[in-house]
Amino acid sequence: MSDFLPFTRPHIDEPTIANVATVLRSGWITSGPKVLELEAALSDFFGGRRVRVLSHATAALEIALRVCGIGPGDEVIVPALSFVATANVVARVGARPVFVDVGLDTRNIDVSQVEASLTSRTRAIMPVHFAGLPAELDAILELARRRGLRVIEDAAHAMGASSAGRRIGSFGDIACFSFHANKNMTTIEGGAIVGGSESETAAVERLRFHGLRKLSADEFEVVEPSGKANMPDVNACIGLGQLPHLAELNSKRRRLADRYFEQWNAGGALRLPARGDDGHCWHLFAPLLPVDSGVNRAAFIKAMEARGIGVGVHYPAMHLFQAYRAMGYREGQFPNAERIGRETVTLPLFPAMSLSDVDRVVEATVPSLQEAKR
C-alpha 278/C-alpha 132 separation (Å) is 11
Cβ neighbours, 10 Å, residue 94: 12
Q: How far is CA 7 from CA 45, 75, 229, 238, 293, in A?
A: 28, 35, 29, 22, 24
- The answer to whether the beta carbons of residues 54 and 236 sit under 8 Å apart is no
Strands (E), 32-182: 51-54, 75-79, 96-100, 122-125, 150-154, 162-163, 166-167, 174-178
Q: According to DSSP H, which parts of 27-56 are helical? A: 33-45
C-alpha 141/C-alpha 315 separation (Å) is 26
C-alpha 71/C-alpha 65 separation (Å) is 8
C-alpha 353/C-alpha 347 separation (Å) is 12
Helix then strand then coil, % of the chain, to nearest 5: 40, 15, 40
Q: According to DSSP H, which parts of 156-296 are helical? A: 198-207, 233-242, 246-263
DSSP designation for 130: G
- The answer to whether the beta carbons of residues 25 and 233 sit under 8 Å apart is no
- Among 34, 183, 252, 302, which one carries the catalytic annotation? 183
C-alpha 157/C-alpha 30 separation (Å) is 26
- The answer to whether the beta carbons of residues 207 and 64 sit under 8 Å apart is no
Residue type for position 223: V
- The answer to whether the beta carbons of residues 42 and 243 sit under 8 Å apart is yes
User: Pairing relation of β-strands 212-216 and 219-222?
Assistant: antiparallel
- 228 counts as catalytic: no
C-alpha 164/C-alpha 169 separation (Å) is 13
Q: Which residues are catalytic?
A: 183
